[in-house]
Amino acid sequence: MTDIDPRPTVIAERLRGVKRIVAVTGWKGGIGKSVTASTLALLLAQKGFKTGLFDLDFAGASDHLVLGAKGLFPKEEKGLEPPVFRGVKFMSVVFFSENKAVPLRGANVSDAIIELLAITQWGELDFLVLDMPPGINDAALDVMRFAAGAEVLAITAPSLLAHDVLARSLELYKKLKVPVLGVVENLSSGGRAKGADAVIRRDPGLERALGRPAALLKTAFARDLGRAARKLGLFK
């Protein structure tokens, strides 16, 4: 007799108090997926929303670096309660990897992500921002399967390769009936980008603000992201 995995039911219960889940996704490296996810969480918290941020990128977890979040670890209380940083409930795979590369492959990555989804207690949230595993693979598809109702916020960049991968990936999500909140082109030189709902201009000052949330929220990047979030209906 095959054992039935109870974790899908547990995950549904863990996410029951979350009103909206935004899955920030990118299919090419270096396009700003993690900076976008982290800054979006800070912006939502600044607006007064109860917000969570979950870094699920086993290959390159970096939200803690963007935020400057140090010395944090979840509290164990009938599962794991994420620590609160700058008004954001923050959970990351880096808490368990000691900031080292995680030697997991294929099904093991999916299993680890499912386990984290099952043991993390978010409580009542207006928004849970997911920094997704890169690409469309088993891990990413499992997140979308278990985080029911999650809306994809697709991040791309102004290059032929990035837009080609974006188009193919969005077509797959469409076939899978995954809701897409919108497409944001990062690192834009200005103007309206073809195939994107909003643009974030290249910000030379962004790098200096990383690790300092107050400074990050004052960047041109954060202002553009805020305009994109309003345009996509995340807040007014």
CATH number, domain containing residue 121: 3.40.50.300
> Is 236 part of any domain?
no
pTM of the model: 0.93
Q: What is the mean pLDDT of residues 11-40?
A: 93
Q: Distance (Å, rounded) from C-alpha 30 to C-alpha 187?
A: 10
Give a yes or no: residue 1 inside a domain. no
Q: What is the pLDDT of residues 42-79, one digit of tens each?
A: 999 999 999 999 999 877 889 999 999 988 999 998 88
Q: Answer yes or no: is 2 within a domain.
A: no
Range of the domain at 34: 7-231
Q: Is the pLDDT of residue 39 over 60?
A: yes
The string of pLDDT tens digits covering residues 164-186 is 888 888 888 888 888 999 999 99
Most confident of 93-97, 132-136, 205-209: 205-209
120-159 pLDDT, tens digit per residue, is 999 999 999 999 987 777 888 888 889 988 999 999 998 8
| 4-8: average pLDDT | 85
Domains in the chain, number: 1
The answer to the question of residue 72 being in a domain is yes
